[in-house]
Structure 1
């Protein structure tokens, strides 16, 4: 963001606190939990949502911030430079008890704020009046179910919806969707497995590590799960691979050369799997080829999973 010789926004009323980040996160569940906890403790709170993008933007449509009445906030609706200013506007809304729309970038009343992308974003500031929509979304995500929120700008209301939908406006209401955390099921027992586990946990994925089929339950694999086979032995992976292919997992990848994968496919055909099922397997695994060390392989595998998850959204 660039500034042009003036403060970004009008000077805050002395009665309002100075906005401060409470925690740095862009995880929707953590942001909603921050807002829920604020309401539970008796604090007023506003939920800010990115509802329109014109040109480029640092965040996706539906990105959130949560702002507490004491000035503490979390979440991002841009690249990090406008968030304190947005929090200040949210504090004004909390004090007034009224929702509002905030435009930043081109067409904004705040001409001192120029977004790096040169475009503009519109933010809906909703003063939360009920906790149950947030509770319902968080409960759904904890149960690994997709969910959503519906914001009615005219009615200044927020409602839980029992399904995920593409974020956007429909008949004056804005829909935001939420998916459970990416679950990464890692199969193997090598150094590649240990390294990939460490990196996946650092990213914040829900990690399940297994060696054999007896350790994996079919219900652990849902549409927000990815499975990576890091064995060096086809015989060890076959029983697990059968479970994965019968699941709705969005990603299935397997370690090994093209020659190894041909042998894998031949064995699956012998076991009666159709070509469409076999084609779901990404092999050789990973985003970039010939990762020869454990660290590079872990990066390659998790980057491939992240890319598939983003494309699926």
Structure 2
């Protein structure tokens, strides 16, 4: 490999101190930031949380992307090590040698303490090709599962089709990605409008509808979709409920009292749906009962969706 001369190294601009480009913990945004840097001719590194000792504010597989000019995005902790990790990543970019760095418990950096009292290990990989990142981004855009497999000994990163749990498998660390959570809100009411706004604020892919449209309903509902029915009319919601039960999204929730839900279950049973299938419907919808105003209902419903999403992901990993 050709080496730069000392003269060129001396005249090259020194990297500036690390600074956040923007705040995000969304994997797609972080990978896109790194891919855009590489496509613009800039060097970049991908930082990944690969070990947790004790507690951690971020899950395994959390990322940061760091550019050679010091701009970075992403989180691997609650904000206490990101600047230090970005500086380490800049050194990796300059040296071309990947490294593992420990913070908190078991770390040589005594001045960097994690408030949770635990410890983390970060892999720092100088990105050598944009293709693995683009493959993952394209898969997620197509609402397909994807993964990145990193081998620290070989310093390689490759894209893989993955529905498995994020973690170590032998000498490789694999990060699994799921498509953005899609939320479909059905209903023409203030409750539906507010719920859609809260879902957008949470970063979900939001669609709204006031009725069943077979041309789009089945195309939108997949395993990463939550279906929220905020009708005040059982007749209008029944076609949507049947479509959701057939499509098997991870969450189906419907508005109404327990008495209303009893009627709903009777109607669905009369249409041939089994007790087990009907039990997939969360009704009354939300995590706390009797949310009488639109904003409280929206918070209750979206918190329920978020909890169901975590449970669904955990069950898939266990499988």
- Give me the TM-score of the superposition, normalised by structure 2: 0.93
What is the RMSD of the two structures over their aligned residues, measured on CA atoms? 1.0
Matched, 1:297 2:297: yes
> Residue 19 of structure 1 corresponds to which residue in structure 2?
18
CA distance in 2, matches of 1:163, 1:47: 19
CA distance in 1, matches of 2:106, 2:170: 23
> Residue 3 of structure 1 corresponds to which residue in structure 2?
none
Matched, 1:43 2:42: yes
Aligned-pair distance for 1:217?
2.3
> Residue 134 of structure 1 corresponds to which residue in structure 2?
133
Instruction: Report if aligned partners of 2:148, 2:176 keep a CA contact under 8 Å in 1.
Output: yes
Aligned-pair distance for 1:248?
2.1
CA distance in 1, matches of 2:195, 2:114: 37
Aligned-pair distance for 1:164?
2.5
Unaligned runs of 5+ in 1: 1-13
Q: Where do 4+ consecutive residues of structure 1 move more than 3 Å? A: none
| 1:19-51 Cα shifts (integer Å, max 9, x gaps) | 000010000000000000000000000000000
2:153 alignment partner, SS class: coil
2:21 alignment partner, SS class: strand
1:227 alignment partner, SS class: strand
> Residue 202 of structure 1 corresponds to which residue in structure 2?
201
- Give me the TM-score of the superposition, normalised by structure 1: 0.94
2:272 alignment partner, SS class: coil
Aligned-pair distance for 1:81?
2.0
CA distance in 2, matches of 1:66, 1:164: 23
Instruction: Report if aligned partners of 2:80, 2:114 keep a CA contact under 8 Å in 1.
Output: no
2:25 alignment partner, SS class: coil
> Residue 317 of structure 2 corresponds to which residue in structure 1?
none
| 1:61-105 Cα shifts (integer Å, max 9, x gaps) | 000000000000000000012101100000000000110000000
> Residue 88 of structure 1 corresponds to which residue in structure 2?
87
CA distance in 2, matches of 1:237, 1:22: 44
CA distance in 1, matches of 2:213, 2:14: 61
| 1:157-176 Cα shifts (integer Å, max 9, x gaps) | 00101122201101110010
> Residue 76 of structure 1 corresponds to which residue in structure 2?
75
Aligned-pair distance for 1:16?
3.3
How many residues are matched?
300
Unaligned runs of 5+ in 2: 1-12, 314-319
Instruction: Report if aligned partners of 2:80, 2:112 keep a CA contact under 8 Å in 1.
Output: no
CA distance in 2, matches of 1:89, 1:130: 20
Matched, 1:309 2:305: no
Instruction: Report if aligned partners of 2:31, 2:137 keep a CA contact under 8 Å in 1.
Output: yes
CA distance in 2, matches of 1:110, 1:235: 63
CA distance in 2, matches of 1:50, 1:280: 35
